[in-house]
């Protein structure tokens, strides 16, 4: 007489409902679902990786052009996630560029209007991502592609671990809801373990591109910790900002690492 299957999957359903645009069965927001939802967050990265793999296979099957393939690789993560993390990048870029104190920065994060720096940041990241994919695709082997795919899991594992361990900048918002309802010690252990496994897999799959990708992710995490210090803690927007930078850093690392390996 165990719990119904849907009850057991509540953390997974909660994670996918909030951090992806994939249709999920409707569930009530309950402490049980929130407690370990961040442990399931990396599974959303697995869904992104699966979508990229399918698109890559389709491009090969139909003989689609390299640029079209690169644009698809750039946009698919936005489609799977609903752009929630890119929205965080946009808001955070405006707040960071203001060079104001913590209170004013948090006020800018809450402002629904988009500033010039947010637009520039989003355009810059999308252009860079597309250019990196366009550069990477001609000589991309299965191992290096596996490193990129693991990067989507790594970024979410690090993000979940940070939410469980970093101080919170405000007493409201999505991150506050998840963090206060979470088993922080359990989330930190699970997501920390998943991050370590993903990082190890990246290094073993393709040593040079994998280590370069890990360096990119590590620099993004260091930058995130410094940014959170300026804000007095983390927020949902800052978490999205980090995740976007982390994935861009992984892709940049793989591209540079593969170029060095040639």
What's the gap between Cα 188 and its chain centre?
Answer: 16
**Cα–Cα distance, 59 to 153 (Å, whole number):** 23
234 SS3 class: strand
For residue 206, the 8-state DSSP code is S
**Cα–Cα distance, 58 to 62 (Å, whole number):** 6
- Which positions ≥6 away from 238 have C-beta within 8 Å? 88, 92, 109, 169, 224, 227, 228, 231
pLDDT exceeds 50 at position 34: yes
**Cα–Cα distance, 228 to 234 (Å, whole number):** 5
Contact 214, 151 (CB under 8 A): no
The pLDDT value recorded for residue 33 is 57
Q: Find tokens 């373990």 and name the residue.
A: 193
For residue 113, the 8-state DSSP code is S
Mean pLDDT of the chain: 89
pLDDT exceeds 90 at position 10: no
**Cα–Cα distance, 237 to 224 (Å, whole number):** 11
- pTM comes to 0.91
The pLDDT of 133-143, averaged and rounded, is 91
Distances in Å between the alpha carbon of 184 and those of 155, 165, 200? 18, 7, 24
The pLDDT value recorded for residue 1 is 45
Q: Closest Cα partner for 104 from 113, 114, 94?
A: 94
**CA dihedral of residues 203, 152, 65, 54 (deg, nearest 10):** 100
pLDDT exceeds 60 at position 24: yes
Neighbours of 130 (CB within 10 A): 17
User: Lowest-pLDDT range, 66-70, 97-101, 108-112, 174-178?
Assistant: 174-178
**Cα–Cα distance, 196 to 139 (Å, whole number):** 27
**Cα–Cα distance, 220 to 207 (Å, whole number):** 20
pLDDT exceeds 80 at position 8: no
Per-residue pLDDT tens over the stretch 44-84: 999 999 999 999 999 999 999 999 999 999 999 999 999 99
Per-residue pLDDT tens over the stretch 204-234: 999 999 999 999 999 999 999 999 999 999 9
Element (H, E) at 190: helix 184-205
């Amino acid at each position: 007489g165990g719990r119904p299957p849907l009850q057991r999957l509540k953390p997974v359903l909660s994670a996918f409902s909030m951090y992806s645009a994939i249709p999920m069965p409707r569930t009530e927001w309950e402490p049980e679902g929130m407690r370990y939802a961040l442990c399931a967050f990396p599974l959303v990265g697995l869904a992104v990786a699966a979508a990229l793999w399918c698109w890559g296979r389709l491009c090969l099957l139909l003989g689609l052009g390299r640029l079209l393939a690169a644009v698809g690789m750039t946009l698919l993560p936005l489609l799977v996630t609903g752009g929630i993390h890119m929205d965080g990048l946009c808001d955070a870029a405006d707040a960071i560029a203001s060079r104001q104190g913590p209170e004013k920065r948090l006020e800018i994060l809450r402002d629904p209007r988009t500033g010039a720096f947010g637009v520039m940041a989003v355009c810059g990241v999308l252009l860079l991502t597309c250019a990196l994919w366009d550069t990477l695709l001609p000589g991309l082997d299965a191992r290096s592609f596996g490193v990129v795919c693991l990067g989507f899991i790594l970024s979410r594992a690090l993000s979940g671990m940070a939410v469980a361990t970093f101080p919170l900048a405000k007493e409201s918002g999505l991150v506050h809801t998840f963090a206060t309802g979470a088993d922080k010690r359990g989330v930190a252990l699970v997501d920390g373990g998943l991050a370590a496994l993903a990082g190890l897999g990246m290094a073993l799959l393709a040593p040079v591109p994998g280590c370069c990708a890990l360096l990119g992710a590590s620099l993004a995490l260091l930058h995130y910790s410094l940014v959170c210090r300026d804000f007095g803690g983390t927020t949902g927007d800052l978490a999205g900002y980090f995740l976007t930078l982390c994935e861009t850093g992984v892709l940049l690392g793989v591209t540079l690492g593969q170029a060095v390996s040639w």
